[in-house]
Amino acid sequence: MSGLPKGIPYTKVPNFIIEDLMADLRGGELKVAIAICRKTFGFHKKTDGIALSQIMDLTGLTKKTVIDSLRSLVKKKVIRKSISSTPYQYSIDVSNHIDAIPQKHKTTKISPKNLKPDGGIKTTPQEVQKLHRSGVQKLNPQKKSIKEIEKNTTSSSDLSDEIVEVIETWNNTFERKMSKNDKQDIEIVRSALKDFSVDQICKAIFNRSQAQYYKTIPWHRDNPEMFFCIPEYIRNDLQRRPKDIYTFEEMTTKVGKTPGMTTDYFEMIPNMKDEMDRPLWKPKVSNS
């Protein structure tokens, strides 16, 4: 039973967000975390593509505050973020709190010889101590605060979180890796961050990995110096989109310019939208 009056919808919120994290969350972080709970757990999902505009509507926060809160929540291991699709995928990170789930108590069989005449149970001092210790361990699991989580996950490197995120995004996307110990790699990323935000660079990296333009020059695509060192290339990659992907306006324009073509030639791409939270379209696969 939810305890709510019948007919009132509700969304599950993990206890650790309220009991462990709420006191330490700042600014719009709590609002954003609750919004992600609503868009995921509220629709029986573990993760979901959530546009910035959706979070802004739910929380009433500005775009900058939402972006800053999302970045901070990722660093604090409260949420997870994936840029493998648009809009970006977000989920609540429960990995740091799995050990706080109480275990089911085992039922102990009671021998008749341990029963007292009044119906009570005979126990030795050792058994009482064992029962007490076991109960404390199971019913009062140790909780981890955000500060403890940050302490355990902070890198020993002096690199900023922004540089680490960019390098990890590049390494998770391309075969040619960058090193967090290489001064040259660090400097070219730091230079790029003077002109672009982390989200912009990560979006450009994803677009670069999918763009048809680089199919014939993969050595150019996977070369960090041909990306981070040239701001114009980053700007170009921010504007790229995989081949045959259209906004609604682009689709209708193409239909209008192509004799015999109708909108029936296209289909909406599930879970993929542009920066304005509008659906994207692609040509249907021909069965012929």
Domains and CATH numbers, the chain: 15-98 (1.10.10.10), 155-239 (no CATH), 248-283 (no CATH)
Contacts of 151 (CB under 8 A, 6+ apart): none
Give CA–CA dist 79/88, Å, rounded. Answer: 12
Give CA–CA dist 285/172, Å, rounded. Answer: 29
Q: Are 281 and 251 in contact (CB under 8 A)?
A: yes
Query: Which pLDDT belongs to residue 286?
Result: 55
Give CA–CA dist 240/243, Å, rounded. Answer: 9
- Tens digits of per-residue pLDDT, 228-242? 999 999 999 988 866
Q: Are 71 and 198 in contact (CB under 8 A)?
A: yes
> Please, which pLDDT band fits residue 152 given cuts at 50, 70 and 90?
very low
Q: Which residue has the higher pLDDT, 273 or 8?
A: 8
Query: Which pLDDT belongs to residue 234?
Result: 94
Bond into 87 cis (ω within 30): yes
Q: Are 188 and 229 in contact (CB under 8 A)?
A: yes
Give CA–CA dist 70/150, Å, rounded. Answer: 16
Element (H, E) at 199: helix 198-210
- Tens digits of per-residue pLDDT, 193-239? 999 998 889 888 888 887 888 888 888 889 999 999 999 999 999 88
Q: Over the chain, what is the mean pLDDT?
A: 79
- Tens digits of per-residue pLDDT, 32-61? 999 999 999 988 899 999 988 899 999 999
Is the pLDDT reported for residue 79 higher than 60?
Answer: yes
Query: Which pLDDT belongs to residue 78?
Result: 92
pTM of the model: 0.44
> Can you list the alpha helix ranges (DSSP code H) found in 41-80?
52-59, 63-75
Give CA–CA dist 144/122, Å, rounded. Answer: 38
Query: Which pLDDT belongs to residue 65?
Result: 87
Beta bridge partners of 266: 283
Element (H, E) at 188: helix 183-192
Q: How far is CA 136 from CA 47, 105, 140, 141, in A?
A: 34, 12, 5, 8
